[in-house]
Structure 1
Amino acid sequence: MTHSRASWGLAARLLAAIVVVVLAGSATAWAVASVIGPAVFHVHIIERSGTSDPGVLRHSEEAFATASGYSLGFALLAALVTSVIVSVFLTRRIGRSLARVRQAAGRLAAGDYTVRVPAVSMGAEFDDMATAFNTMAADLGRIEETRTRLLGDLAHEMRTPVATLDGYLEGIQDGVVPADEGTMAMLRDQVSRLARLAEDIALVTTAEEGRLTMNREPVEVGQIVDAALAQASARYAAQQVRLVAKMPDDAKKVLLSADVDRIGQVLTNLLDNALRHTPAGGTVRLGADRVDGGVRIRVGDDGEGIAAEHLPHVFERFYRADTARDRAHGGSGVGLAIARSIVRAHGGDVTASSPGPGRGAIFTVELPVAERERR
């Protein structure tokens, strides 16, 4: 019994439902006509024609009953046949449309993310369903592409420190490499590199999934910028790169509703990125300006710059251009991705611009002001 019910498809169920509705309508129409028709006919014969002969009345009523019965019966039968034909056409069309969706879903489940459902032109509901399915397929395709690329990039990033650790440990085991302080320091450095990579990957994944914990509080822009400058100054001095800050007073006083540590991490990542790609003797400029509804913070350098074809991709995880983001500069390759995720979690955005290779780059962070300052 269960198998019999399960074998009924949607088209068959729709057809059965429509037939039931037609039959119920026909039965109702027959019942109403049978009750009202003779009474109305009788009133018209007696009151309006003036006929009182019982034989004539009986014959007239029999004639009316026979005529109305045949005509109503044939009319209802014709309506039933027509309704069934139209219903069969509609249910088959709906069935074919749903079959395409079912087949597409099967291909999608099998890993074919290029599958799309064509528009069926059967109303807004079907069009919305097709659009939603196609959007889902496209999103899953992008997620799968990102996952595949991420795994490949992650394997590449891990290969160097793992190979280094393996080579040195094998050398120590064979007695070729001394287990002195220098070797231990180098091994600890490679382990730290792997640990940083794991932490950065976990952070950017959490941020992109919207699960990043935010402890927001009112904070002035000047406070965040000053803290970032204090943390970066020693690194810049060691690399002989000038770090210059310029902020008007109205920008310093802009009040943000932000997680101080997270936004500080954004500026730290941007300053570290600028330092990696600015040679000794170069200059990195940190500035902020107040704009309508928010603040704009800029980190600009006069270093290697970024080619135009690489600009749309610099915030992607592990993306590196041949020059401006070469692995020789160090870093985990996800610093800019982390910065973008944190800024977007605050309702802002971060962009990159560059006149071209060898002409520096500018990273711009835009953040909205705190709600109470807008009032």
Structure 2
Amino acid sequence: MSGARIIARRDLAARLLAAIVVVVVVGGATAWLVVAGVGPAIFHHHMTQTAGSSSSTVEHAERAFRTASALSLALALAAALVMSVVVSVVLTRRITRSLTPVTEAAGRVADGDYTARVPAIGLGAEFDDLALAFNTMATDLGRIETTRTRMLADLAHEMRTPVTTLGAYLEAIADGVEHADAPTLAMLGEQVTRLARLSEDIALVTTAEEGRLTMRREPIGVAQVVTGQAAQAAARYAARGVHLDVRVSPTAQAARVDADADRLAQVLTNLLDNALRHTPTGGAVRVLLDRAGSGARIVVADDGDGIPAEHLPHVFDRFYRVDSGRDRAHGGSGVGLSIARAITEAHGGTITAHSDGPGRGAVFTVTLPTAPEPRAR
């Protein structure tokens, strides 16, 4: 690394010095041609026009002019060359000294240390922008690496339980300890379904966040989607003893959005399932559809567990759980809210979460841009 840095420094110094020398040489050659070719002719013309000037006087004056011009030009070129070398060396040292932290920080980032930062270089706006861009890149890489590490750890944890259960029961059946009766097969089927659902959810949220989600968008009525998904969830809510209240404001009855009906329905399903998991028996979940300016707003509010303030910024992250044990016990894959956010943003909308704290419920709000109303014929 140090050898390569020395070579780069020398190369930069040589290039700067060569560029300056070329400028000096070209400028000097041009000045010499002017002094040697044009200057004497003009001087001779003016001398011959002067009354009373003899030929010897003119010749002596011309010789003095050439000598003085050559000496002045030589001194000027020498001074320019010396200053060029000095400027080249000073500038090269300053640039290399300022870029050394960038090189070192880049090496640290390449080795996996994403805490490396570059101080302000101070060589102008371009170099400061370079430092800012590098620091931003390092921050983003660090965040991505942290998310990747946590995601892989959570994914491994999610898969461990069903895989361990499947392995243990299959081994027990092979050893004759357990029998492949209907309840056992049903339990094994549930574990396989859980793994399949986890795989599908991961693939879906990854595809959506990368902008590769396939959608068949068309103007659809939001009220029909909201009421339809609420009707499908009614049985699950009744089985848990949780009241589900759905309201559509008069102003939103005819609201239409340019959306994929199935994808939008999945957003509602994930929000309703999330609310059900965190609402105790006897609680209530309220769904409201109304207008928000030029958009349609869907609010899913529960009076369940609530969300601590420090967890609110992360509830839409993959595998993030406010209460890990409780969520896993209720079968959540940990990416339902991530899928809801990815699909909502793919439709040009926004989704937010709010809670007044633990035990005070949570409110999820989806806002979607509405489609133009069809013209009456």
Fold conserved (TM > 0.5)?
yes
SS in 2 for 1:363: strand
Identity over the aligned pairs, expressed in percent? 65
Distance 2:99 2:271 in 1: 50
The structure-2 alpha-carbon separation of the partners of 1:36 and 1:313, relative to structure 1 and needing over 3 Å to count, comes to same
Deviation at 1:373, TM superposition (A): 5.3
Does the CA contact (< 8 Å) of 1:343 and 1:350 recur in 2? yes
Alignment of 1:1-375 (within 5 A): 9-47=11-49, 49-322=50-323, 326-370=327-371, 372=372
2:329 maps to amino acid? A
Distance 1:250 1:271 in 2: 23
Between 179-188 and 227-236, the greater mean CA deviation after superposition: 227-236
Distance 2:213 2:38 in 1: 72
Count residues with an aligned counterpart.
369
Question: What TM-score, normalized by structure 2, do the two folds share?
Answer: 0.92
Deviation readout 1:221-255 (Å, 9 max, x if unpaired): 21221222232222222222221111112213222
Structure 1 residue runs without a partner (length 5+): none
Deviation at 1:37, TM superposition (A): 1.7
Structure 2 residue runs without a partner (length 5+): none
2:112 maps to amino acid? G
Deviation at 1:195, TM superposition (A): 0.8
Runs of 4 or more, structure 1, over 6 Å off, are none
Deviation at 1:325, TM superposition (A): 5.5
SS in 2 for 1:98: helix
Distance 2:362 2:355 in 1: 4
Distance 2:228 2:37 in 1: 91
The structure-2 alpha-carbon separation of the partners of 1:324 and 1:194, relative to structure 1 and needing over 3 Å to count, comes to closer
The structure-2 alpha-carbon separation of the partners of 1:293 and 1:29, relative to structure 1 and needing over 3 Å to count, comes to farther
Distance 1:223 1:26 in 2: 84
The structure-2 alpha-carbon separation of the partners of 1:374 and 1:62, relative to structure 1 and needing over 3 Å to count, comes to farther
1:23 maps to amino acid? V
Deviation at 1:85, TM superposition (A): 0.5
The structure-2 alpha-carbon separation of the partners of 1:94 and 1:260, relative to structure 1 and needing over 3 Å to count, comes to same
Distance 2:326 2:61 in 1: 101
Distance 1:285 1:91 in 2: 68
Distance 1:312 1:161 in 2: 30
Distance 2:254 2:44 in 1: 94
Deviation readout 1:184-228 (Å, 9 max, x if unpaired): 110011011011111111111222222222322222221221222
RMSD: 2.1
1:239 maps to amino acid? R
Deviation readout 1:53-110 (Å, 9 max, x if unpaired): 2111111111000000001110111011112201211122112223322222121111
